[in-house]
Amino acid sequence: MVFLHGGLGNRFNLRSQYEFAVAQGWGAIAYDLAGHGQSSLYPRYSIGRHCRDLTRLLRHFHRHRPILFAHSYGVPIALEWCQQQRVAGLVLVAGGTHDLDPWWKVPLMQSLAWGGRHLFRLPWMRRAIAQLSSEHSHATIDRFTAESPLPVHAHPYDALRIFWGYNFFARRVGLRPASGQRSWQLSYPALIISGGQDPMFTEAMGAALAQHFPAGRHLHIEPAGHLVMAEFPDVVNGALAEFRWGAIA
């Protein structure tokens, strides 16, 4: 099982699911995407480069047909990677095929990239952001905010730009095979997870995404926000275990 974090995140974003997987005896890999956490920086970022990195990582560890667990902007990477490589299943959390940049997000991220990010060096600002990140308060979400502060360096913000305007299906216009079949491959077991308090990935978006997969299931957690996997780790981990059992059966 491979865990792909989202924009401005790091490998600790999915700690609850990673530790759960390890405790179950599953093979598990969590890593920082390029430009994030402790990974190398690139002069230019692309989804293709992220996919190449994932391929090399799995080749290094001799892993094949993984289950990809992706959060937020990690979802496009998972979707693109499985067009070229085989997977046993996809768990897609709070992210989808398109409309991943609501009207307010681009100017906000641009302002942070231009210098606003330095405010996150201030302890009071970090505390305020932690409180705004989630309406929930318990040990798991507290650990999440402590391990995943918003970055103060520019590269994670630069790396976000590749997802603005992303549309999985629009990228494949003109690629339809002569046979008339679809030019994408989504015939994998898939679990889509959304939160009712998430302004970026709604219940309707989750339901629509699940319909693209013949073996797709949508789990909606109404009280959850964008950090659903940290807010409701037991619910998500239980669904993950059930999904994995079905995907590899």
**Which CATH number among 3.30.565.10, 3.40.640.10, 3.30.230.10, 3.40.50.1820 corresponds to the domain 2-248?**
3.40.50.1820
Contact 203, 194 (CB under 8 A): yes
Ranges of each domain in the chain: 2-248
Q: Nearest CA to 214 among 189, 239, 178, 235?
A: 189
- Tens digit of pLDDT at every position of the chain (249 positions): 999 999 999 999 999 999 999 999 999 999 999 999 999 999 999 999 999 999 999 999 999 999 999 999 999 999 999 999 999 999 999 999 998 888 888 888 888 888 888 888 888 788 888 777 788 989 999 999 999 888 998 899 999 999 999 999 988 875 554 444 555 889 999 999 999 999 999 999 999 999 999 989 999 999 999 999 999 999 999 999 999 998 876
The token pair at 224 is 């959850």
Q: Whole-structure pTM over 0.85, yes or no?
A: yes
> CB-based burial of residue 88 (10 Å sphere; 0-12 exposed, 13-18 middle, 19+ buried)?
middle
Contact 167, 98 (CB under 8 A): yes
Q: Nearest CA to 17 among 7, 4, 6, 8?
A: 4
Rounded Cα gap, residues 213 and 101, in angstroms: 23
Q: Nearest CA to 162 among 44, 72, 29?
A: 44
Q: How far apart are the first and last CA of the chain?
A: 15
Instruction: Give, to the nearest 10 degrees, the angle between helix 15-23 and helix 139-147.
Output: 120
- How far is Cα of residue 102 from the mean position of the Cα atoms in its chain? 16
Rounded Cα gap, residues 9 and 73, in angstroms: 10
Helices (H) and strands (E) in the chain, counts: 10, 6
